[in-house]
Structure 1
Amino acid sequence: MPRVTPGSTAAAAALALLALAGCAGDDGDTGRGAPATTTTATSDTRVVAPGRPGETADVIEPGEDIEIVEGGYSEIDVRFVEQMIPHHRQALTMAELAADRAQDERVLLVADRIIAGQGAEITVLENWLEQRGLPVPPAGAEHDHGLPGMITPLQLEQLTNTSGAEFDELFLTYMSQHHAGAIEMADAAVAGGTDQLALELATDVSVTQGVEIDRMREILDTL
């Protein structure tokens, strides 16, 4: 029966995500995961079952048994969602400063895309927690700069107190750092998570913010 077993790299990345919040245990220690429902069926046609991101697909021939897994989420999924919310909130705070401080039109466009994209994602992330009866991180949690890429209150104050070309350079530098941290968190979630929506969100964060980092570095090189 085809099964997917995470490799050592995926397991290490998943453990790294748990460690961000000081959690060294597994789902049994926290009790915040929910088991998936698994049923077995016999395939009557040839089926190609997509693998997880980065893995090859399984081919199921007629007459073979196949596992159908529905629902369920893990501690890794929960940690990713609840930590990405304050991470995104800080990105919005930084991006909103650009409206009356940025000088370069390209910086304003980057900031506008971040506000539109991450603002919508925050809503999805909050709904994910609420639908599972889990608390949404309170306002102010974005000041926890222990998460990867988060800037410190002093750095945020520095950004707030600049304008013009100085703001543009500092904003692009700090936001590139911020995005890189989000990608680190997202990649760990993709490697070890189980919830389909959380995996899709993590994949989108990794791809989208990777593209934005490249764009911000291009702008930095021409300032």
Structure 2
Amino acid sequence: MTSKHSPARRTLAVAAAGAAALVLAACGGGSDTSSGHGGHAAATPSTAASAAQGRHNAADVTFAKGMIPHHRQAVEMAELAATRAESPEVRKLAEDIRKAQGPEIRTLSGWLSSWGEDIPAEGGSDHAAHGAEGMMSARDMARLEKSSGKAFDTAFMELMIEHHEGAVAMAEAERAGGADAAAKQLAGDIITAQTGEISLMKKLLGRG
């Protein structure tokens, strides 16, 4: 008896399972747009992994590797203003630069690490790139370190304008050729912030 009715029971079980699957599919299809992001298919594991890693190219790497020493030097210049600047406006500007660019250095370094790239070493090697996109030479930095009062204010702004112009050029290159969305966003932020600071410094120097 058991062997005679077993196939029938198996057939009914399969049919019931199939019906349940259809009901669940009907309940979930079309009514819950959040799971499919407005009708788009959910990401496959491989797609999700690619999205998590992000897409970047050589321009993104060049931007990060160039901007890190560039920002380090700007922070070094800004730190001098705390004890050497006479103008409250210059001290405030220098502090704004330091507060903005320090975290950006950490962000850029994190990207390079996630991309499997080396982070530029700190130290004198930063000065070796002077002349590249507004980087100051060791002589420029020595001149700034020896200045104080109004002479420091003038030297700081003149050198920082050149420095900022270099950063803007680097950021524009990233915006034009980069692939990583976050890097391009940071480049846009740098352009906006430093263009505004260039205008302020020119105004303080009486050239705006």
- Measured against the shorter chain, the TM-score band is 0.7 to 0.9
1:147 equivalent in structure 2: 132
The one-character-per-residue Cα deviations of 1:5-53 (angstroms, maximum 9, x if unpaired) are xxxxxxxxxxxxxxxxxxxxxxxxxxxxxxxxxxxxxx969xxxxxxxx
1:16 equivalent in structure 2: none
Give the counterpart of 1:74 among 51, 57, 66: 57
State how far apart, in whole Å, the 1-side matches of 2:126 and 2:169 are. 17
- Which segments of structure 1 move beyond 4 Å, counting only runs of 4 or more? none
**Cα RMSD (Å) of the superposition?**
1.8
Shift of 1:211: 0.5
1:187 equivalent in structure 2: 172
Give the counterpart of 1:119 among 96, 102, 117: 102
Q: Where is the helix percentage greater, Structure 1 or Structure 2?
A: 2
1:98 equivalent in structure 2: 81
2:152 equivalent in structure 1: 167
The residue type paired with residue 136 of structure 2 is: I
Question: Please, what TM-score do these two structures have when normalized by structure 2?
Answer: 0.72
Q: Runs of 5+ in structure 2 lacking a partner?
A: 1-37, 41-49
2:25 equivalent in structure 1: none
The one-character-per-residue Cα deviations of 1:114-170 (angstroms, maximum 9, x if unpaired) are 000000100100111111221110012321214211111001100100100000000
Contact 1:87 1:147 in 2 (8 A): no
Q: Which moved more, 1:131-140 or 1:89-98?
A: 131-140
The residue type paired with residue 206 of structure 1 is: I
Instruction: State which structure, 1 or 2, has the greater radius of gyration over its C-alpha atoms.
Output: 2
Shift of 1:204: 0.8
Q: Where is the strand percentage greater, Structure 1 or Structure 2?
A: 1
Residue 135 in structure 1 maps to residue 138 in structure 2: no
The residue type paired with residue 149 of structure 1 is: G
Aligned residues: 158
